[in-house]
Structure 1
């Protein structure tokens, strides 16, 4: 068994080295790909986010081939970022791998050291204490609610971060007494948003839009609804109806008037409802 595992590890390293070589070739000024050569860490950021979401979607689907493919796309982003950094002598993939390995060893003293733990809570506390020490922060400060909530804004998409922030705030008592208060807040923010659109600067309008969206997500939380799943479902339905419209259309959609498009939309909506 140990021999088989060693062989598998060796094969994995060979495959990883091949990927590194392929990416290096794509970035080579001598015969590389013009598109890849134009990329910077900043221009690739959207792809990192996109690929991460596609990994999550594949995992939800349970399709093992899709999961493997999407993980490969995400791995490509890691290797590509490291390749670009190495070209500017900032860091390499070696340093990335060594860094995460050292971090895992430091933060798991119950596995790699002589620390004893009795529960998952012990593991979590050790992790947070070690993390705080690494960053030169006082552990007590990292346990404050504001500190914890600020991390959500850094590591989660805004929609998910809002739900996490409001859930944690509600858990310590920063909450409405009933859903009527939630609706009152939503209506208040809606009024302020409308006023901002009519009278305020774009900056104020955007701020009020954020407040309105935050309050709407509180309604979702109180009703035990998943806003991400809700919005994803709406996106899918919109695309499905658009596909039906294209099936019914006898010419490009751009050649139709708004009234004609609405007729096609309603026809598509009815057809999809009948197919359910």
Structure 2
């Protein structure tokens, strides 16, 4: 597809969305939407794009990217109607940002490694946002507000470690995990639900630190566990003649082990 064809296709989408939002013959559902009411769809579509990419389904990737693009265009359309900004400003803004943050491509900066590229990016980003004058707590607060909990914990711990909040070795991290596990067990036995929740959070945060030290993504790890659980249940359901809830615990365990073995063999 040529650049002109791509621009024409994008223009068609813009016009379709504008028509859906038109008080004269538009869609009642689209007309009543606000930036806030559409927020869940932005998150949902982003996750569906990630799922399609992980599955390697090119047709699904194209479809889900379209759904995500719709959310971008729709947000810009609503903002334009209110006189805040337009899709043109959105596109121009990100283009200018990319140019600023890639001085080794669009400027005369020379880099010798990926680390230097990352350092330049973070330095320019911090300067843009005025983060160089921000306190550490304000920087961390922004990650807590804008990222999902597991991803936020990883980012917060990474930035805190850079600022000196770091263990001397991984054995100390393992000791922290053991400490938090013991505190959770104590809370579950003797303390309030609020304390129990707090201690569970502390344990999860400590486990995230293990992931950071070993360069393992905790979000991806948990997603993989969820997927394996579903696959095993699918295998179990494929060989039974009644709902799984009708089976005893011993029977379910046998079916589980059989499904686990089948998946391990690639069956």
For normalisation by structure 2, the TM-score amounts to: 0.75
The CA deviation at 1:61 is 5.7
Match 2:46 to one of 36, 49, 52: 52
Match 2:232 to one of 241, 244, 268: 241
Q: Size of the alignment, in residue pairs?
A: 260
The CA deviation at 1:244 is 1.2
SS of the equivalent of 2:37 reads: helix
SS of the equivalent of 1:174 reads: coil
How does 1:108-147 map onto structure 2 within 5 Å? 116-119=108-111, 123-124=120-121, 127-128=124-125, 130-132=127-129, 137=130, 140-142=132-134, 145-146=136-137
Deviations 1:80-122 (A, max 9, x none): 222333444444323433443455566678877xx74333558
Instruction: Indicate the residue corresponding to 1:23 in structure 2.
Output: 17
CA contact under 8 A between 2:232 and 2:263: conserved in structure 1? yes
Instruction: Indicate the residue corresponding to 1:229 in structure 2.
Output: 220
Change over 3 Å in CA distance of 1:126–1:195 after alignment to 2 = closer
Does 2:30 match 1:12? no
The CA deviation at 1:238 is 0.8
Distance 2:166 2:128 in 1: 30
CA contact under 8 A between 1:141 and 1:147: conserved in structure 2? no
CA contact under 8 A between 1:55 and 1:67: conserved in structure 2? yes
**RMSD over equivalenced CA pairs, Å:** 3.6
Distance 1:34 1:193 in 2: 50
For normalisation by structure 1, the TM-score amounts to: 0.73
CA contact under 8 A between 1:106 and 1:130: conserved in structure 2? no
SS of the equivalent of 1:43 reads: coil
Instruction: Indicate the residue corresponding to 2:34 in structure 1.
Output: 40
Flag structure 1 segments of 5+ consecutive residues without an equivalent: 1-6
Instruction: Indicate the residue corresponding to 1:217 in structure 2.
Output: 208
The CA deviation at 1:182 is 1.9
The CA deviation at 1:250 is 1.1
SS of the equivalent of 1:187 reads: helix
Match 2:258 to one of 251, 257, 267: 267
Deviates more, 1:85-94 or 1:177-186: 85-94
Flag structure 2 segments of 5+ consecutive residues without an equivalent: none
Instruction: Indicate the residue corresponding to 1:3 in structure 2.
Output: none
Change over 3 Å in CA distance of 1:207–1:86 after alignment to 2 = farther
